[in-house]
């Protein structure tokens, strides 16, 4: 026998003298009954992770769609941002400008380099107009920008009208010069 066991057997009376406190057995029995498991504890760990990943995916898709809607609404064309009189004026002036472009194309320009220079100048005017459009998108209620845009349309029409007049004069001079050359002496 071991010294420890021997000590317990010889001093057994001293060990049995202490009684547990009142209600000890009731608490002990209560601990033996299994505690009810919560709903979340019953769900497997993998299923919890899948639910979190699903929530993250759905929320990221929704955030992406909202951001896309926000940015596309910020880049709406001018006629959607500023309806009404300006929209009507824009349609009117663009139709006139398109007619002038077709008139310029119809006229015969002898030097293709001149036509290229003319088209580059028109593109430069259009580039300036795009800056005005960006300013209008930033400040849609600014009347000065709207006025500048209408003035731009008017100036472009006026310049195109002068170009057409000059081209018609050049074509008329060329046609009279060719008719004089074709007559025999």
Q: Closest Cα partner for 150 from 89, 69, 70?
A: 89
d(CA 22, CA 15): 18
Q: Closest Cα partner for 81 from 138, 26, 35, 20?
A: 138
d(CA 82, CA 86): 7
Q: Closest Cα partner for 150 from 103, 100, 102, 85?
A: 85
Q: List, for residues 9-50, the tens digit of each pLDDT value.
A: 888 878 777 777 888 888 888 888 887 777 777 788 888 899
On average, the pLDDT of the chain sits at 81
């Amino acid at each position: 026998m071991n010294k420890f066991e021997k000590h317990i057997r010889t001093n057994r009376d001293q060990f049995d003298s202490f009684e547990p406190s009142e209600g000890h057995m009731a608490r002990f029995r209560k601990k033996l009954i299994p505690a009810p498991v919560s709903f979340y504890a019953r769900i497997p760990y993998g299923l919890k992770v899948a639910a979190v990943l699903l929530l993250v995916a759905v929320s990221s898709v929704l955030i992406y769609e909202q951001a896309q809607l926000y940015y596309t609404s910020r880049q709406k064309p001018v006629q959607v941002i500023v309806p009404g009189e300006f929209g009507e004026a824009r349609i009117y002036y663009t139709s006139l400008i398109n007619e002038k472009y077709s008139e310029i194309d119809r006229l015969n320009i002898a030097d293709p380099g001149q036509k290229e220079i003319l088209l580059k100048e028109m593109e430069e005017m259009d580039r300036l107009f795009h800056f005005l459009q960006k300013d209008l998108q930033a400040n849609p209620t600014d009347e000065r920008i709207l006025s500048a845009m209408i003035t731009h349309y008017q100036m472009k029409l006026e310049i195109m009208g002068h170009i057409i007049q000059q081209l018609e004069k050049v074509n008329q001079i060329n046609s009279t010069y060719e008719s004089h050359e074709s007559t025999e002496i």
